[in-house]
Amino acid sequence: MPTTTTFALVRHGQTDWNAEFRIQGSTDIPLNDVGRGQATAAVIPLAAFHEDERDWDFVVSSPLSRAADTADAIAAGLNIDVTHRLPTIIERDYGDAEGLQAGPELEALRIPNGFLTAESEAAVAQRGIDALQSLAAEFPGARIIVVSHGTLIRLTVNAIFDISAGPISNAALTVVRASPAGWHLDHLNGENVLAEESSTPVA
């Protein structure tokens, strides 16, 4: 029987910069009170997402504090461990655009698919794919919660499944499975995905 590794991709809880619609990127902005509540609430859908009576095995996260603190809250709520802080799943580096809100200063930096001095979308997606493939190779058959960032999750899922998903909400659950037969998308941004639209072979 093929070995399937299941990933719950969870965006961190809200920060003040999220609430102010500032580009956050690799800047280390902490959770605010709303975000801490969202991190705790994320335990509920994760606890309900069982497979053959199996619980989640462990949590990994980006090292940025908003993701690390979300991961710690989830792990405590599920009574499992955070085993890795993975630099490869840090948020996209937006360069000079970080900290900016919509306006002339931000527009002056805009280029197709990003901003001047920002990391490319392709590079972000590849980082995300490489991280999931490495985890699947190291822990085949595991059920792993991956706490990361909205743009990284969105671009990774879009690249794997050749779709155009929109923004990922704070603390929303996206579930993907990796097996020798390919990838399968179960949930996207907290919503079920139609089976016929959710599979793709390994590239």
User: Per the annotation, does 151 bind a ligand?
Assistant: no
User: Per the annotation, does 18 bind a ligand?
Assistant: yes
Residue 188's SS3 state is strand
User: Per the annotation, does 12 bind a ligand?
Assistant: yes
Indicate if the alpha-carbon torsion angle 146, 151, 152, 155 is positive or negative.
positive
User: Per the annotation, does 91 bind a ligand?
Assistant: yes
Residue 14's SS3 state is coil
Q: What angle, 0 to 180 degrees and rounded to 10, lies between the N-to-C axes of helices 150-161 and 121-138?
A: 80
User: Per the annotation, does 50 bind a ligand?
Assistant: no
User: Per the annotation, does 14 bind a ligand?
Assistant: yes
User: Per the annotation, does 17 bind a ligand?
Assistant: yes
- Please count the residues of the chain: 203
> How many angstroms separate the CA atoms of 115 and 81, rounded?
37
User: Per the annotation, does 70 bind a ligand?
Assistant: no
Residue 115's SS3 state is strand
Strand ranges in 75-142 using DSSP code E only, listed in sequence order: 82-85, 110-111, 114-115
**Residues with a known catalytic role:** 12, 91
Nearest Cα to 29, choosing from 89, 119, 99? 99
Indicate if the alpha-carbon torsion angle 90, 11, 13, 151 is positive or negative.
positive
User: Per the annotation, does 36 bind a ligand?
Assistant: no
User: Per the annotation, does 93 bind a ligand?
Assistant: yes
User: Per the annotation, does 56 bind a ligand?
Assistant: no
User: Count of CB atoms within 10 A of residue 178's CB?
Assistant: 22
User: Per the annotation, does 191 bind a ligand?
Assistant: no
- Binding residue numbers for substrate: 11-18, 66, 91-94
